Amino acid sequence: MRRSWLVFAALLAGACAVGQPAVPLNAFAAGDLAQVEAFAAQQVADGPAENQALVHNVLAQCELLQGRVDEARRNFEVAGRIMGSWSTGGGEATAAILGSESSKTYKGDPYEQAMNAYYLALCFFWKGEPDNARAACKRGMLADAEVGDEKFQADNALLFWMAGRFSIMLGSDDADGYFGEAATAHAFAIQHGARGVPNNDVLANPRRGNLVLVLECGMAPEKYAEGGQGELARFRPRPHPAVAARASIDGRDLGVASLLLDVDYQARTLGGTEMEGIRKGKAVFKTASTVAGVVLLDQASRSKGDAARTQAIAGGALLLAGLLTSTSADVRHWPTLPSTVHVLTADVAPGDHQLTIDFLDARGRPLPQFRQHTLVTVPASGEAWHLARSLPPVAPRAPSVP
């Protein structure tokens, strides 16, 4: 009977914990987007409900990188609705506090919510709705403002710059305000350890260009658990050779793209969370109750009679409580995000052009395995945006929609 209770208790402790989906990152890095998409689609259909936002984001990203903008937008919207809702059931909160934190619905960290907004903005722009694209940017800015450390609450230059560009398209008079915020955010981020250079060409001339290249490099950091009981959530970078990008059009060099967003920095500067304090408290309780339980059981083994029985019951209960207390941090994260996002703008004659993108290593040398050639069409009025990622050109490439 005692064994039954132990088995049941173990089941209860582990039953509701939801782990990081095993996204085939090697396939993603190798450019096999179809395989990653199939995995994400299967997880959307059959995976845990708590991970829906995460797998919808991965699915949408694969669709976007393969040029299927409408499908991507729908899935980013589904993920964005889950990530943006502050509503949480009492049962879910109780389970996450008393049991495993990863039993809760994944809503992403602020930097992940901001990245969902960034992709959604691109999708809405390509749909021909710059107003909704700008709305997505604003939502991303609000998400960025949710980080625990107040001083890092408005340092996403990319979203401000994009909002400014969309404002110009809408004929709004607030574009310069957004560009000013973008410059301030960038200067702050650089000052506090983000990668990039202070004199950013795109932010110095934010209105320039009818061709906009959005170039994503590397892989986003990995979230992992640290501390004696795994109670601390931390980030570590995922090494990748591509750290910058340059482009040429019809053989004319356009130069090196400006780094507007350091995703690793955004993740690192998330700040402390209240849940981290709770997990630390649980870790102390777990250690204390486990030690006390062992001590009491040891004493019980040396005692006799009623005292021994009382010590055994109390020790067993404490040991069980200690063993069942889950202190591990929720380390679910969006693993297919890039490490950095760069932007290159250029004034190009309307019409079709042959675009070549080279991703560069840390020494500025082109990485031939990631070279991409594509045809871009620049409209007579308005502008064309093109998205590219530092992946081998295995799958059909990302969209380029005027």
Partner 1 sequence: MSIRFAAVALLSLVTACAGTRDTRVAPDAPDSVTGTGLQSQDIRTMATDMAAKIKASGVLAPARDGERASFFIYELRNDSSDTIDKEIILTKLRTNLFEAFGRQIKILDRSPQANDLVDAERRMKERGQVSGTNDRQVAGSDFVLKGTIKSRDRQAGKLKSAYYLVTFELTDLVTGELCWTGDYEMKTESEKSVINR
Helices 2-15, 305-324: inter-axial angle, 10-degree rounding: 20
Give 73 or 353: the residue with its C-beta nearer to partner 1: 73
Measured torsion, CA atoms of residues 166, 172, 176, 177, in degrees rounded to the nearest 10: -100
Q: Which of 118, 119, 124, 125 touches partner 1 (CB under 8 A)?
A: 124
145 binds partner 1 (CB under 8 A): yes
Q: Which is nearer to partner 1, 90 or 305 (CB)?
A: 90
Q: Which residues pair with 212 in a beta bridge?
A: 345, 385
Sequential DSSP letters for 352-394: EEEEEEEEE-TTS-B-GGG-EEEEEEE-SSS-EEEEEESS-TT
**Considering only residues 23, 136, 261, 341, which one is a binding residue for partner 1 as defined by CB under 8 A?**
136
Terminus-to-terminus CA distance in the chain, angstroms? Answer: 69
Strands 211-217 and 384-389: parallel
**Binds partner 1 by CB under 8 A, chosen from 29, 67, 92, 292:** 92
Among 1, 22, 45, 362, binds partner 1 (CB under 8 A): 1
Q: Could you say whether residue 313 binds partner 1 (CB under 8 A)?
A: no
Closest distance of CB 99 from partner 1, Å: 7
Based on the shown chain and the rule CB under 8 A, indicate whether residue 80 belongs to the binding site for partner 1. yes
- 3-state SS class at 159: helix
Indicate whether 78 belongs to the interface with partner 1 (CB under 8 A). Answer: no
Residue 25 binds to partner 1 (criterion: CB under 8 A): no
Task: Give the tokens for residue 60.
Answer: 């949408």
* DSSP states of 166-212: HHHHHT-TTHHHHHHHHHHHHHHHHHTT-SS-SS-HHHHSTT--SEE
Q: Which residue's entry shows tokens 């990530």? A: 83
Q: Is 244 in the site for partner 1 (CB under 8 A)?
A: no
Three-state SS for 106?
A: coil
Say whether residue 170 binds partner 1 (CB under 8 A): yes
Which listed residue (26, 42, 85, 199) binds partner 1 by CB under 8 A?
85
- The token duo for 306 is 């009623």
Instruction: Give 98 or 204: the residue with its C-beta nearer to partner 1.
Output: 98
- Establish if 53 lies at the interface with partner 1 (CB under 8 A): no
Stretch that binds partner 1, among 19-27, 59-67, 124-132, 243-251 (CB under 8 A): 124-132
Q: What residue ranges bind partner 1 (CB under 8 A)?
A: 1, 4-5, 8, 11-12, 15-16, 49, 77, 80-81, 84-88, 91-93, 95-97, 99, 101, 104, 107, 120, 124, 129, 131-132, 134-136, 138-139, 141-142, 145-146, 148, 170, 172, 273-275, 278
